[in-house]
Amino acid sequence: MEFFERFAIPHPSPAIYASMVAIALTTIAVVVGLTYFKKWGYLWREWLTTVDHKKIGIMYMISALLMLFRGGADALMMRAQTAVPENTLLDAQHYNEIFTTHGVVMIIFMAMAFIIALMNFVIPLQIGARDVAFPRLNALSFWLYFMGAMLLNISFVIGGSPSSGWTSYFPLAGNELSPSVGTNYYMLALQISGLGTLITGINFIVTILKMRAPGMTLMKMPMFTWAGLITNVIIVFAFPVLTVALAMGTMDRLFATNFFTTTDGGMDMLWANLFWVWGHPEVYILILPAFGIYSEIIPTFARRNLYGYTTMVVSMVVISLLSFVVWVHHFFTMGQGALVNSIFSITTMAIAVPTGIKIFNWLFTMWKGKIQFTVPMLYSLGFIPIFTIGGVTGVMLGMASADYQYHNTMFLVAHFHLVIIPGVVFAMIAGLTYWWPKMFGFMLNERIGKWGFWFIAGGTVLAFFPMFISGLDGQARRMYTYSEGTGFGIWNMLSFVGAIGLAIGFALLVYNIYYSTRYASRDIGDDPWNARSLEWATHNPVPEYNFAITPQVNSSEAFWDAKKRGHKLFKAGYKDIHMPNNSGIPFIMSVFFFIFGFAFIFSMWITVIVSLIAILACMTYRSFEKDDGYHITAEELKKAESELRGAK
């Protein structure tokens, strides 16, 4: 019995028991469903073992949507708790757990997954490649991310969730002040999924540098691919910092080392520094792909080419460089003095320049255009004003002296939600709607989509604008409650109403997926949006080999040129296409990583060692495995292509 006690929840409540039941029932339903419909084999063959970038992208997307609802449920509970003063819906400990997991889930497991989903699906198509450079590593990336996400999510029902904030500052996150295993979950889950992200970074840099279609020089790449390249460079340079910080944190908690402790020379500020040396570039890892998505959607629906292609690229490069030299602005108030704060204040505000250029370039892209208000375009247009407000408040926060007043308040919360939601979430939904026909061969319903947009945009404004005011009125963030006399009540109530609006918007998105899956027309052709870039030059949905013939590219809008200017994309005849075989290794290895992480969290060292050996065994197997893939012959291609064309 003693063995099992460690898995108990330190602060049980009806909500946790309910989620235990819910998780158990869902698991049973999935298992029974799969068995009843005899889908185990299908699941294994088509999904668990797949190395196809398109399917991996879709799996990322489904996971990201699931995490969006997990994080969204957290957000609703937080807003509900603070909607009225002295509310008792949640106690302090649960509120702390919920805002911690909200942050972790949304940043690491939702936003990251969503951008990687779209990069996975779109980038190889945009550059006319067969797949990514290392398809198996790509599968491994996904499964590591997925296992990391699952690991954090089970913390709620096994052993307790982390509760020291998504920033997990020491010494609060140390053993003494956070004795439950929650922070161990945080450390290990982020470590495992971070490893997956790093592999993604390497994979995509190689893919983009080496696998572009003939004729596509770097400056002829579509903007989303450019954004992807820069993002992945940031990933490769930023994530190792997190790896080290998490390793140190884990060792402090489990091996009693003294990195961030308050004894024997430990330095709590080192964690804050390392965390934000990773954490600030992380913000740009999220936002740059979103910029890329808008740079695809706005030209498409303004019916014009992207204005200022070169400045767009240069500004992204500048942003990526600056992103590594601003981290101190997350703790101007740590007492490093006026000089250091002044330097970081200036670098921080400097980011506004390249970002501003991008905003104006998008505006100029619509100049003399022929704007069509489709759902992806609506999100892009909603992005511009809301993000501008989020961005300029960022500049305000960048002024160190004033930041002493904004820091740790709801003003800050309003700022970063108003950049991340229009910047990332809008872009994700816009991108999802835009590339949906590429993924599934039908379109999402425009009418439901527009309703969803207005709820989400309105909800965002209503949920977060009041926080500027309550922040300036002195409401600190992360307070589970406040007294009536503070006068914060009205603003928090407005936020709660806004949060409900957002929830309705997201529910409409899901309903739209359901509705369109059932009722939407499958006869949409290959180019339903009258688009411009190369991914639209193949079929909807994309066949497993992507392009039957490798395209010849002459500009960043090769497909548009092919339509309007007589550029010939496909010159060669059919040739055999080499395909990689599916593999179960990434999935199996990731399961062992999950076991490894779980055992590590609970200090079950024998299991740790066994799972580590199993991981090494997987690597050994992979190293010795001879796998040359297979070929789709020219004959088969010809047949498949004529069928695809005949169907239209």
- Among positions 360-399, residues that touch another protein (CB under 8 A) are 360-361, 363-364, 366-373, 381-382, 384-386, 388-389, 392-393, 395-396, 398-399
| Interface region with another protein, contact rule CB under 8 A, candidates 186-194, 407-415, 592-600, 602-610 | 407-415
Q: Rounded distance, CA 569 to CA 613, Å?
A: 50
Site for another protein contains 307 (CB under 8 A): yes
With CA atoms as reference, report the closest residue to 378 among 421, 420, 427.
427
CB of 92 to another protein, least distance (A): 5
Pairing mode, if any, of strands 630-632 and 577-579? antiparallel
CB of 221 to another protein, least distance (A): 16
| Interface region with another protein, contact rule CB under 8 A, candidates 101-109, 150-158, 471-479, 607-615 | 471-479
With CA atoms as reference, report the closest residue to 634 among 590, 571, 575.
575
Those residues whose C-beta lies under 8 Å from the C-beta of residue 359, and which sit 6 or more positions away, are: 384, 387, 388, 391
Q: Which is nearer to another protein, 150 or 378 (CB)?
A: 378
With CA atoms as reference, report the closest residue to 490 among 87, 81, 84.
84
CB of 443 to another protein, least distance (A): 18
Q: Between 251 and 280, how does the x/- string for binding to another protein read (CB under 8 A)?
A: x---xxxxx-xxxxxxxxxx-x-x--x---
Report cis status (omega within 30 of 0) of the bond before 171: yes
Look at the alpha carbons of 160, 161, 162, 164 in this order and tell me if their dihedral is positive or negative.
negative
Rule CB under 8 A: which of 415-454 touch another protein? 454
CB of 270 to another protein, least distance (A): 6
Rule CB under 8 A: which of 118-157 touch another protein? 133-134
Asked if 122 and 60 count as a contact pair (C-beta separation under 8 A), the reply is: no
CB of 146 to another protein, least distance (A): 21
How many binding residues for another protein (CB under 8 A)? 136
**Tally of CB atoms within 10 A around 62:** 14
**Tally of CB atoms within 10 A around 154:** 18
Q: Which is nearer to another protein, 182 or 441 (CB)?
A: 182
CB of 469 to another protein, least distance (A): 6
Any idea which residue has 């670098």 for tokens? Answer: 347
- Chain Cα centroid distance, residue 2: 39
Report cis status (omega within 30 of 0) of the bond before 541: yes
Asked if 377 and 301 count as a contact pair (C-beta separation under 8 A), the reply is: yes
Q: Between 96 and 115, how does the x/- string for binding to another protein read (CB under 8 A)?
A: x-------------------
* Maximum C-alpha span of the chain: 78
Continuous segment of H or E residues that includes residue 207: helix 182-210
| Interface region with another protein, contact rule CB under 8 A, candidates 52-60, 181-189, 328-336, 433-441 | 328-336
* Assigned token pair, 290: 């979103």
Residue 617: CA atoms inside 13 Å, Cβ hemisphere, count?
9
The residue type found at 231 is T
Q: Which is nearer to another protein, 24 or 247 (CB)?
A: 247
CB of 29 to another protein, least distance (A): 36
CB of 518 to another protein, least distance (A): 30
Q: Which is nearer to another protein, 65 or 413 (CB)?
A: 413
Q: Which is nearer to another protein, 49 or 305 (CB)?
A: 305
Site for another protein contains 512 (CB under 8 A): no
Q: Rounded distance, CA 99 to CA 91, Å?
A: 12
Among 245, 316, 520, 577, interactor with another protein by CB under 8 A: 245
| Interface region with another protein, contact rule CB under 8 A, candidates 116-124, 152-160, 300-308, 433-441 | 300-308
Q: Which is nearer to another protein, 193 or 540 (CB)?
A: 193
Q: Rounded distance, CA 66 to CA 518, Å?
A: 21
Rule CB under 8 A: which of 152-191 touch another protein? 163-165, 169, 171-172, 176-178
Site for another protein contains 308 (CB under 8 A): yes
CB of 338 to another protein, least distance (A): 4
Q: Rounded distance, CA 136 to CA 142, Å?
A: 10
Q: How far is CA 479 from CA 93, 99, 488, in A?
A: 11, 10, 12
Among 51, 59, 119, 400, interactor with another protein by CB under 8 A: 400
| Interface region with another protein, contact rule CB under 8 A, candidates 49-57, 62-70, 356-364, 532-540 | 356-364
* Assigned token pair, 163: 């509760």
Q: Between 590 and 619, how does the x/- string for binding to another protein read (CB under 8 A)?
A: --------------------------x---
CB of 175 to another protein, least distance (A): 10
Q: Rounded distance, CA 349 to CA 358, Å?
A: 15
